[in-house]
């Protein structure tokens, strides 16, 4: 059974803090790793789709790195703002996979 | 604006009744998906469809059925055989193919409560 783990489950930071969380996935037969942001009362929104080992993607203050050999990805948020409060989901798909496998998410709360 | 519309937002049913959740997209996407979310769990795949008139079971298909008669529509029926139907249901779409390296686009979800 393929498993995708995200840590921490939740965290609370102050406005301006930088933070990061982890997504762990099977390191064999990797195909792609997705990151989504899910704000309350909204639909999940795609942040990044990563396919290459060592890849780093950036969108504003949010960036992500990928290590397919050891099976992890980090999501970084620089200078957190209250509008960054959301649940961040990662999802893995392997070479033989036909659909994404989601982690349980990391819920970020940013206070002003 | 293009997007995915799920209706209704909230749905209440009595145990033993079948219920159909609607999902419509105007993104011209080939692939569509149904996920279920329960508290403390990740999104779990129920069914997906890569093309009209074809669909495959996901990890938790028992007690559910789908159809894909039109590219734009992928309704999900929760049957009385589903043991724990109360959950939040999300529909998504992607193109091309199966969302392997193209992002999923999600609807706003339907919260189903069965009593």
Q: What is the pLDDT of residues A48-73, one digit of tens each?
A: 999 999 999 999 999 999 999 999 99
Q: Please enumerate residues of A whose Cβ is less than 8 A from a Cβ of B.
A: 4, 31-32, 34, 36, 42-46, 49, 51, 89, 91, 93, 97-105
Instruction: Name the percent of chain B lying above pLDDT 70.
Output: 96
Asked if A43's CB is within 8 angstroms of B108's CB, the reply is: yes
Torsion angle defined by CA atoms of residues A41, A47, A49 and A55, in that order, rounded to the nearest 10 degrees: -150
What would the pLDDT profile of A6-52 be if each residue is shown by its tens digit? 999 999 999 999 999 999 999 888 999 999 999 999 999 999 999 99
* DSSP-derived secondary structure letter, B70: B
Average pLDDT over residues B20-25: 97
- Count the neighbouring beta carbons within 10 Å of the beta carbon of residue B112: 21
Confidence (pLDDT) at B100: 74
Other CB atoms within 10 Å distance of the CB of residue A16: 11
Joined together, the tokens standing for residue B112 give 């189903």
pLDDT at position B21: 96
Partners of B27 on chain A (C-beta within 8 Å) are none
pLDDT at B98 over 60: no
Choose among A34, A98, A102: nearest Cβ to B103.
Answer: A34
Distance (Å) from the alpha carbon of B39 to chain A's nearest alpha carbon? 9
User: CA A102, CA A25: separation in Å to the nearest integer?
Assistant: 10
Report CA B18 to chain centroid distance, whole Å. 15
pLDDT at position B40 is 85
pLDDT band at B35 (very low <50, low <70, confident <90, very high): very high
């Amino acid at each position: 059974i393929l498993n995708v783990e995200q840590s921490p489950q939740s965290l609370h930071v102050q406005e301006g803090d930088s933070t990061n969380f982890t997504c762990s996935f099977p390191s064999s037969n990797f195909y792609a790793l997705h990151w989504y942001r899910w704000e309350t009362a909204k639909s999940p929104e795609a942040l990044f789709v990563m396919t290459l080992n060592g890849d780093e993607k950036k969108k504003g203050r949010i960036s992500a790195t990928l290590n397919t050999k050891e099976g992890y990805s980090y999501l970084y948020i620089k200078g957190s703002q209250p509008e960054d409060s959301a649940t961040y989901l990662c999802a893995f798909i392997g070479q033989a996979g036909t659909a994404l496998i989601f982690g349980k998410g990391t819920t970020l709360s940013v206070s002003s | 604006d293009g997007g995915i519309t799920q209706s209704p937002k909230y749905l209440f049913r009595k145990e033993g009744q079948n219920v159909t959740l609607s999902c419509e997209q105007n993104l011209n996407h080939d692939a569509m998906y149904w996920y279920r979310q329960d508290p403390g769990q990740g999104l779990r795949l129920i069914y997906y469809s890569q093309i009209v008139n074809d669909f495959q079971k996901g990890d938790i298909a028992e007690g559910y059925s789908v159809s894909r008669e039109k590219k734009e529509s992928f309704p999900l029926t929760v049957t009385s055989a589903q043991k724990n139907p109360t959950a939040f249901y999300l529909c998504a779409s992607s193109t091309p193919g199966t969302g392997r390296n193209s992002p999923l686009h999600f609807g706003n979800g339907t919260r189903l409560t069965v009593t």
